[in-house]
Amino acid sequence: MFFKKADTIVGVSLILSLFIVGCATSEKNRGDLSGADTVWKKKIVVLPFADLPGYEAEELGLIATRQFRQALVKDCKGLVVEDEKRGRHLEALVRTPEGMGSMQVTRVARALGLNAILTGELPAIKTFEQKEGIWPFRKIVPAVSLELEVRLYDVETRAILLSERAKASTKIPEALSQSGDQHCDFEVVTRLLQEAVHELSRRVCKVMKEEPFKGYVISLEGDKVEISAGADTGLHKGDVLKVFGWEPPLEGKDGQVFLISGPCIGEIKVEEVFQHTSIAEVISGVDLDKSNCVKAK
């Protein structure tokens, strides 16, 4: 009788232990998927990719942009990809001579509540010949390769978080036309583009997973603060955020300016939440009019 009881106790203990471990593992998995911030999402915008000069399909850059947006939505948990409509606020600014170095770009990106801005281009589509088969029966077949390059800019600091290139290649069913190396079967090129997009998308997801949640102060009136983060990032009424001040900017080579967050200067508590913005009450702190950004407490 005693041994039966002991067996029962051991069995129940084992089940409870497995349940607890399982719960802990589930919690860890949820954290791994969404990064350090398990509730608040991070926002990114994908600006139109530059078209490949001279290529017959001028819309290839637009196709790359749409593919990248779709890939990020699919691959990145805990990430909000802004739609084209809101992203247009930045497009015209990026095309100016200053490009991504413009402070106006940074101001607009902060007003949109972005963590990062993604840009890209298609440096090259090349045709070549490759050998396939077993010697001595190898034959030469036409092939094509495509390169895709992306740069990921941090809105808070203006630093480049990621600058990488992916390459995809395949043989093609028939020889290219005589009009030049950049003219080849459109279906083959878009398939290669999709392959390169997914490779780079996974790299972007990995970088963004390590980035903390950020929002920015849009306005301050009395003890009320408007921030550029709302329901789309998962904020709720009652959430408490830390407010960080400015440090003197750092100047890099070629006139680049990098912005640095200073120490925490106060805390705010969310009172009203809208789609893209929120209104919060000042809990503590002084000189919040000199605030830079808000982050998780």
| Confidence grade of residue 51 (pLDDT, cut at 50, 70, 90) | confident
**Residue 37 resides in a domain:** no
Do 144 and 201 fall within a single domain?
yes
208-217 pLDDT, tens digit each: 999 999 999 9
Task: Say which CATH number the domain at 291 has.
Answer: 2.40.10.410
Instruction: Tell me the DSSP string of 88-142.
Output: HHHHHHHTSTTGGG-HHHHHHHHHTT-SEEEEEEEEEEEEEEEEESSTTS-EEEE
Q: Element (H or E) spanning 261, and its range? A: strand 257-273
Do 146 and 264 fall within a single domain?
no
Do 99 and 203 fall within a single domain?
yes
Task: Say which CATH number the domain at 161 has.
Answer: 3.40.50.10610
pTM: 0.79
Do 186 and 231 fall within a single domain?
no
Contact 293, 154 (CB under 8 A): no
Do 167 and 236 fall within a single domain?
no
* pLDDT over threshold 80, residue 127: no
* pLDDT over threshold 60, residue 70: yes
**Residue 228 resides in a domain:** yes
Of the candidates 109, 191, 114, 94, the one whose C-alpha atom is nearest the C-alpha of residue 146 is: 191
Q: Burial code of 68-105, b = ≥16 C-beta within 10 A, e = fewer?
A: bbbbbeebbebbbbbeeeebeebeebbeeeeebbeeeb
User: Structural domain of residue 170, as residue ranges?
Assistant: 42-210
| Confidence grade of residue 200 (pLDDT, cut at 50, 70, 90) | very high
**Residue 35 resides in a domain:** no
**Residue 34 resides in a domain:** no
Do 67 and 149 fall within a single domain?
yes
71-101 pLDDT, tens digit each: 999 999 889 999 888 888 888 888 888 888 8
Among 9-23, 46-60, 161-175, 183-197, the minimum mean pLDDT is found in 9-23
**Residue 15 resides in a domain:** no
* Number of residues assigned to the chain: 297
**Residue 220 resides in a domain:** yes
Do 86 and 183 fall within a single domain?
yes
Do 81 and 163 fall within a single domain?
yes
* Number of structural domains in the chain: 2
Given 210, 229, 263, the domain boundary residue is: 210
Do 240 and 292 fall within a single domain?
yes
Given 210, 242, 263, the domain boundary residue is: 210
Do 261 and 286 fall within a single domain?
yes
Given 210, 241, 260, the domain boundary residue is: 210
Average pLDDT across the chain, whole number: 80
DSSP letter at 253 equals G
Do 226 and 195 fall within a single domain?
no
172-195 pLDDT, tens digit each: 765 444 444 445 577 788 889 999
Do 201 and 70 fall within a single domain?
yes
User: For residue 95, what are the CA distances in angstroms to 22, 54, 278?
Assistant: 51, 20, 30
**Residue 10 resides in a domain:** no
